[in-house]
Amino acid sequence: MLSLRRITGYGALQFAPDGSLSPGDSVVAGGSAEARGILMRAVCSSGSFVIEDHSGSSSVNFGQAVREQVCEPRDGRSSHVWRLRLDFDDFQQMDASLEVRAAFDEGFTLFHELLHGLGYADASHARELGPCEEIVNRIRSELGLPLRDQYFGEAWRITERLTSVRLRFRSQARNGNPTRRESHYLFFLLTEPADSSADIGAVTRVDRKSRQ
């Protein structure tokens, strides 16, 4: 919740007793206008979003969005529910600088997965970032944080069951000088076999067991 408050600027953002997400008194202090717009689109949409804690999961790496079709028993009508799954343990185990951690935490991962429920897709090849992360980068830019520079990460097999994955970020240009940009890296380990060409998304997975 602290991350979502920081990203949106809604200092009173909270879960209501019925489990719904409420901006509280709607007073804004800093934060990203882009993030607030996405959050309000989700709240006002006809779809349903359920945030689930999947800490310690072997099938969820950082985050995952899964769409389910639910049929109402009373009238037979169906609706879609997006289950936004977060593995909070993964954020404690990754290796990154403080500024990269601030740009890739539980809140940013939730926004990435939320965008899937709003109709945005991931990158389809290595040279693009993908619509989801392009929008998330706009949020990072408003907050002055490093921007994600690649959707597909680079993986190195350490042992048969252990793979090291590197994901690149870049600092924003200072004083309008693009030559001042620097690369920053996030590292994490996967304990299942991985292919260096596989998918490393905002959920940062290479084994394709579950997609965003």
Q: Residue 122 in contact with residue 112, Cβ under 8 Å?
A: no
Q: 10-14, 76-80, 91-95, 200-204: which range is least confident on average?
A: 200-204
Question: Which of 133, 160, 163, 164 is CA-nearest to residue 149?
Answer: 133
pLDDT at 200 over 80: no
**For 96, what's the count of Cα atoms within 13 Å in the CB-facing half-sphere?**
28
Domain residues for the domain of 96 are 2-147
Q: Is residue 122 part of a domain?
A: yes
> What CATH code is carried by the domain that includes residue 36?
3.40.390
Highest-confidence segment of 21-30, 169-178, 201-210: 21-30
Q: Is residue 128 part of a domain?
A: yes
Q: Is residue 61 part of a domain?
A: yes
Q: Is residue 137 part of a domain?
A: yes
The average pLDDT across 111-123 equals 93
Q: Is residue 26 part of a domain?
A: yes
On the 0-12 / 13-18 / 19+ scale of CB atoms within 10 A, 99 is middle
- Per-residue buried b or exposed e for 161-200, using 16+ beta carbons within 10 Å of the residue's own CB: eebbbebbbebeeeeeeeeeeeebebebebeeebeeebbb
- Residue pLDDT, tens place only, 176-195: 666 667 899 999 988 764 44
Q: Is residue 166 part of a domain?
A: no
- Residue pLDDT, tens place only, 42-79: 988 878 899 999 998 888 889 999 988 776 667 667 77
Q: Is residue 6 part of a domain?
A: yes
Distance CA 203, CA 114 (A): 12
Distance CA 78, CA 68 (A): 10
Q: Residue 192 in contact with residue 206, Cβ under 8 Å?
A: no
Q: Is residue 152 part of a domain?
A: no
On the 0-12 / 13-18 / 19+ scale of CB atoms within 10 A, 136 is buried
Q: Residue 169 in contact with residue 184, Cβ under 8 Å?
A: yes
Note the pLDDT of residue 2. 87
pLDDT at 7 over 70: yes
How many folded domains does the chain comprise? Answer: 1
Highest-confidence segment of 23-32, 48-57, 105-114, 156-165: 105-114
Q: Residue 146 in contact with residue 169, Cβ under 8 Å?
A: yes
